[in-house]
Amino acid sequence: MRSVRIEEVARVACVSPITVSRTLNKPDTVSEATRNAVWAAIEEVGYIPNHLAGGLASSKSRTVGLVIPHITNSTFADRVRGMTEVLRDEGFHLLLGISDYSPQVEFQHVMAFLGQRVSGLSLTGTTHDERTRSMLARAGIPVVETSTTTGTPIDMMVGYSNEAACYAMVEHLARCGYRKIGLISTSYLNNDRTVARRAGYQQAVKDLKLAQDPGLMITSEIRLAAGAKALVDLLAAQPDVDAIFCTNDVIAVGCLLEAARRGIRVPDDIGIAGFDDIDLAQEFVPALTTVRLRRYEVGSVSAHLLVQRIRGETPAEKIVDLGFEIVARASTRRAQPTHQQRDSGHVSSRAAR
């Protein structure tokens, strides 16, 4: 398929090819009359710029790569939305890869993206294949790791402290009077965010002298049915649990559904809390106490940072903490206002922005 080339546009517009190129890429360096003539010619011949050729010649591409662990989850869907909207406004395009939580698959995507000469790259978390780190170090393109603010960044980071968020939620549950709090987390294999969330829970349980027992921590897949089953399993093993903190809202709603089916009263018999603040959390009956994150902003801020760096600017911060917020709702008892509003962990976090 030999396509219409810049040369043909140039001929029709009676200018040189480079002028056409400039009209497209640096319009303000071309006089208005020329610009109009070129645009008319472009329309006339039906020219579509070949970004492959342009990218090759300029060693710049208008593409950014994103690798996410999976997509069936509003955390990542919102991030994709945040990135695509900003990138579109800035004239960039998004190459998407899904790693399914495998660092090896992530590495393959990174390789392929580098082969496409992406101008920037966004990854999830800080757990990567060693080759990913070394390739990226050599490639010298801006990289944003997201959804965490801890660990050793490759370059930049946008997220929140998973550990602090979980610590804050356990504190909140303790203020609600819960003393034996179970934790249902997602699998923590290759998932530094989950590891951090578990650590936050454990630290808080220890600091607040709540019931400690390895049997209180179990894992579940992110599906409603799995969350329901996890509730059953946890209650079977630890019948006197008085609250359950799920590191994911889908799991938490699964628990709420199962509790309803079994006639377990929430929050009286048991308190249930989640993580993410998905749409369903506030609509569900009872509404779910949870940790609110700024998912869309994780994407939009990442994209902004990448674009800034691609343009050669230096962002104010290499690590952006978007904070979190404990949202108390009906699935947990009312908190006693003993301490001063320590919930406002998010306030300080946000201030860090």
Partner DNA sequence: GTGAAAGCGCTAACAC
Partner DNA sequence: GTGTTAGCGCTTTCAC
Q: Are 150 and 161 in contact (CB under 8 A)?
A: yes
Alpha-carbon Rg for the chain in angstroms: 25
SS3 for 89?
A: helix
30 binds DNA (CB under 7 A): yes
Helix (H) or strand (E) holding 342: none
Q: Which among DNA, a second copy, none contacts residue 111 (Cβ within 5 to 8 A by kind)?
A: a second copy
Does residue 261 touch DNA according to CB under 7 A?
A: no
**Binding test (CB under 7 A) with DNA, winner from 12, 43, 49, 137:** 49
Q: Does 116 participate in binding DNA (rule CB under 7 A)?
A: no
Per CB under 7 A, the segment of 19-27, 247-255, 315-323, 344-352 that binds DNA is 19-27
Among 45-53, 74-82, 252-260, 338-346, the segment contacting DNA (CB under 7 A): 45-53
E strand or H helix at 286, and its extent? none
Q: Compare residues 22 and 295 and give the one whose CB is closer to DNA.
A: 22
Query: Is the CB of residue 274 less than 8 Å from the CB of residue 246?
Result: yes
Beta carbon nearer to DNA, 59 or 341: 59
Binding site for a second copy (CB under 8 A): 1-2, 46, 48-53, 55-56, 59, 61-63, 70-72, 74, 77-78, 80-81, 84-85, 88, 93-98, 105, 108, 111-117, 135, 138-140, 223-225, 228, 250, 253-254, 257, 260-261, 279-280, 283-285
CA separation for the pair 28, 120 (Å, rounded): 26
Least separation in angstroms between CB 314 and DNA: 21
- C-alpha–C-alpha distance, residues 29 and 168, integer Å: 54
The distance of closest approach from Cβ of residue 253 to a second copy in the complex, given in angstroms and rounded to an integer, is: 8
**Which does residue 139 bind out of DNA, a second copy, none, counting CB within 5 to 8 angstroms by kind?**
a second copy
Distance (Å, whole) CA 58 – CA 335: 59
Give the phi and the psi of residue 11 in degrees, each rounded to 5. -60, -50
Cβ atoms of 186 and 220 within 8 Å: the answer is yes
Residue the block writes with tokens 């294949």: 129
Number of residues that bind DNA (CB under 7 A): 30
Look at residue 166 and give its three-state secondary structure: helix
Q: Binding of DNA at residue 285 (CB under 7 A)?
A: no
Tokens of 233: 């399993």
Choose among a second copy, DNA, none what residue 329 binds, the Cβ cut-off being 5 to 8 Å by kind. Answer: none
Residue with the two structure tokens 């040189």 = 16
Q: Which is nearer to DNA, 7 or 317 (CB)?
A: 7
The residue whose two tokens read 């990174």 is: 110
Give the binding site for DNA (CB under 7 A). Answer: 2-3, 5-7, 15-22, 24-25, 29-31, 33-34, 47, 49-50, 53-54, 56-60
